[in-house]
Amino acid sequence: MLFSSIPFLYYFLPSVLILYFLVPKKLKNTVLLISSLVFYGWGEPKYLILMVASIIIGYVSGLLIEATNEKSKKRAFMIINVAINICFLGFFKYSNFFVENFNAVTGLSLKLLNIALPIGISFYTFQILSYTVDVYRGTVKAQKNLISLATYITMFPQLIAGPIVRYIDIVDSLEDRKLTFQKVSEGLRRFIIGLSKKVLIANALGEFCTTFKASDDKALLFYWVYAISFCLQVYFDFSGYSDMAIGLGKILGFEFMENFNYPFISKSISEFWRRWHISLGSWFRDYVYIPLGGNRVKKSKWFFNILVVWFLTGFWHGAAWNFIIWGLYFVIFLISEKTKVGKFIIKTPVLNHIYTLFFIIISFVIFDAVNMSEAFSYLKAMFGLSAVPLISTEFIYYIKEYAVILIVGLIGATPLVKKTVTKLTDTKCVKVVVAIFEPIVLVALLVLITAYLVDGSFNPFLYFRF
């Protein structure tokens, strides 16, 4: 079930919220857990068994780790839990990839398993892993209440697309959270803004990208505008979903971490990845990079640690070589930015922004490709190495049709609007005007979004792939 769908917005969510606010405090986790299981099972009921099994294994592992005082046994229980969950993830997400590559290397023709990817498995697996590792480290106590732990793992606002929520960050809220009118108001505002980013901007940019791919009249500039549009589509699609998740969390009494912080204003690739998908980056930092030694090791080991983290980051995104190469692509820049030349570039005004945006745009062409052959084909055309003209009739037609949404996307990807609104609301008079008109604008946006959804407009969600 998509957040940006009529069934979710007008049937599922209102029903859940009414029940959630009516039941007594001690039953709220139960309502949230059952609602989340219904939400997940709406599209793939058979994979509920897998998720429930993962939760039970994580629950039992946490209790076993905490119950023993022997460090070796604690470590063994933790490793067993990690291994089981990684095996689940590996089997359901990567089995076809491994079989295909085994066939390619050996010349055999083993049959592909063709297993459907369980939605959200990458996200909830990482949450279970972080919980059990934190119990092992002693940074959190094992959760004795299975319903509370299951509520944390299955919570529908962040179940299918993150942000990746750490148990340590919401453990107190699981047991005692305050539901206030202010939080509900802030949550609704954040949700509608995220929904608007997804439906009104990301979907329109997605239409342009789909149109480009179907075109038989491609041109060099058409390729570049497609690449920029896809970057913006992913940003508004995913950050919009994160906004909706954070907003729903507030309504329910939880505080989820921010997942995006205007990444396209970055002055380096390193900074970009501190601003993009923050929850995933911090997860790999705390559970892979630092345990490997981080940067507190000799330089060769440090570079190796970066390589491991970005290989895993790429592979986490998808079972295909273009995702692995996409991850390794960033290793080159993250390491080069530690050199004198790299430091010079990222400290030079204007040049640092051009450098960052240029290589980020190239990276997303690789990310979006069906395979590396298609990626190289697109990159060749972008750099004038293919027999395509500079412009084409279709390019001129579609750039005119989508010019407004491209401009809106480019401006919206910067903090310009937020800074302008913040500056204007510094005065008491404007603050009153905003307080009056903001609810009207939000309702108008919701009506407009509903019209788009009822019309059956283009409405994909990119991160279902991961």
Q: Tell me if residue 317 is catalytic.
A: yes
Q: Work out the end-to-end distance of the chain between its first and last CA atoms, rounded to an integer number of angstroms.
A: 16
Note whether 62 and 179 are within 8 A (CB). no
Q: How many CA atoms lie within 13 A of 181 on its CB side?
A: 0
Question: How many CB atoms within 10 Å of residue 221?
Answer: 17
Tokens describing residue 319:
């079972």
Instruction: Examine residue 24 and say whether the peptide bond preceding it is cis (omega within 30 degrees of 0).
Output: no
For residue 457, give both structure tokens: 């407009």
Question: Are 383 and 292 a contacting pair, CB within 8 Å?
Answer: no
Contacts 24+ apart (CB under 8 A), 12-16: 12/38, 12/39, 12/42, 16/156
Catalytic residue among 317, 321, 346, 406: 317
Is residue 43 within 8 A of residue 54, CB to CB? The reply is no
CA 308 to chain centroid, in Å, comes to 20
Residues 6+ apart with CB under 8 A from 361: 224, 227, 228, 231
Alpha-carbon torsion angle 278, 202, 332, 304, nearest 10: 40
Indicate which residues carry an active-site annotation. Answer: 317
